[in-house]
């Protein structure tokens, strides 16, 4: 039996009985839909990702023809994977992005509070926010009334990503927030928590926390980052729109979210490694943001 407790504008908050989902272990007789959804989505299968990232071809013609003169691929002895040396400028850009990633959301910091308020105002300009802890946040697709509890997987940068999306591409942001495109499932992905998962996925896919890239995808991204300080935020927007596109194409419901994220990642990796891509705006999926 399934009990619908509340359905938000962002496709968010449903309550289910645990017996309706026997494959999921729970400690309480009742669990919220987003708690289950969050557990599923944050289980990101790191080992599979490491294996996938290791499957690169040293010195491929496509790689050498990309004009990435500032990232040098070198074969290491007894290792089929190339290593990627960075210029000082690239190292500096990577360090700044890593510093952003290291910042945890802290509800006691005024800057963080203001960013959260700004996100609400961008999402629902016609509706006054009653407080940083409020039932209203469920309307954006947060798990509960305090969004700060959902930033564990992405940190403050996941809030910055959402805010960048809202300000830079307001139409696409609103379309996704309000689920205005396509034939939607009864149980949609909750917008805000999906956004945190996308930040987390990109950090893993691009291997941002490493000292230097260990895959062609990561090295390619660093070239874009050295030319555009907002490259990570822009790629986030592209990825969010691409994920929603995959969601609709797969006729997905919330239990399919992991499969949708995998498909999104595969498509994004293919696009980043195309020979004619010289900037993020050249990615085929970028057109989804601007149509």
Alpha-carbon span 27 to 165, nearest angstrom: 37
Alpha-carbon span 168 to 170, nearest angstrom: 6
pLDDT digits (tens, 9 = 90+) for 26-41: 323 323 334 434 444 4
Element holding 196 (H helix, E strand): helix 191-205
For 138, the token pair is: 């469920």
Residue 255 DSSP label: G
Instruction: Decide: helix, strand or coil at residue 16.
Output: strand
For 95, the token pair is: 């360090």
Element holding 190 (H helix, E strand): none
Write down the domain spans for the chain.
2-56+87-290
Question: Measuring CA to CA, which residue among 97, 101, 48 is closest to residue 221?
Answer: 97
Alpha-carbon span 195 to 247, nearest angstrom: 14
pLDDT digits (tens, 9 = 90+) for 118-165: 999 999 999 999 999 999 999 999 999 999 989 876 799 999 999 999
pLDDT digits (tens, 9 = 90+) for 162-220: 999 999 999 999 999 999 988 888 889 999 999 999 999 999 999 999 998 889 999 99
In the block, tokens 């309550």 appear at 15
């Amino acid at each position: 039996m399934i009990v619908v407790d509340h359905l938000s504008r962002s496709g968010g908050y449903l309550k289910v009985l645990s017996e309706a989902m026997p494959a999921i272990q729970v400690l309480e007789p009742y669990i919220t839909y987003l708690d289950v959804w969050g557990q599923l989505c944050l289980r990101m299968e790191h080992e599979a990702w490491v294996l996938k990232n290791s499957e690169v071809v040293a010195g491929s013609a496509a790689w050498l023809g990309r004009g990435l003169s500032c990232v040098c691929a070198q074969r290491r002895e007894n290792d089929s994977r190339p290593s990627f040396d960075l210029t000082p400028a690239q190292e500096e850009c990577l360090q700044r992005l890593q510093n952003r990633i290291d910042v945890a959301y802290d509800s006691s910091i005024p800057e963080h509070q203001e960013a959260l308020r700004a996100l609400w105002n961008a999402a629902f300009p016609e509706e006054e926010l009653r407080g940083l802890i409020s039932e209203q946040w469920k309307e954006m697709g947060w798990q509960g009334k305090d969004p700060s509890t959902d930033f564990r997987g992405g940190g403050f940068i996941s809030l910055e990503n959402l805010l960048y999306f809202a300000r830079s591409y307001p139409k696409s942001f609103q379309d996704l927030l309000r689920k205005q495109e396509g034939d939607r499932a009864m149980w949609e992905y909750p917008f805000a928590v999906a956004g945190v998962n996308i930040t987390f996925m990109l950090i893993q896919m691009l291997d941002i926390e490493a000292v230097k890239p260990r895959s062609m995808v990561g090295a390619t991204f660093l070239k874009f980052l050295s030319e555009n300080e907002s490259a990570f935020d822009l790629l986030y927007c592209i990825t969010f729109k691409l994920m929603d596109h995959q969601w609709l194409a797969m006729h997905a419901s919330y239990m399919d979210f992991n499969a949708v994220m995998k498909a999104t990642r595969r498509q994004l990796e293919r696009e980043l490694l195309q020979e004619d891509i010289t900037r993020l705006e050249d990615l085929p999926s970028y057109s989804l943001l601007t149509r």
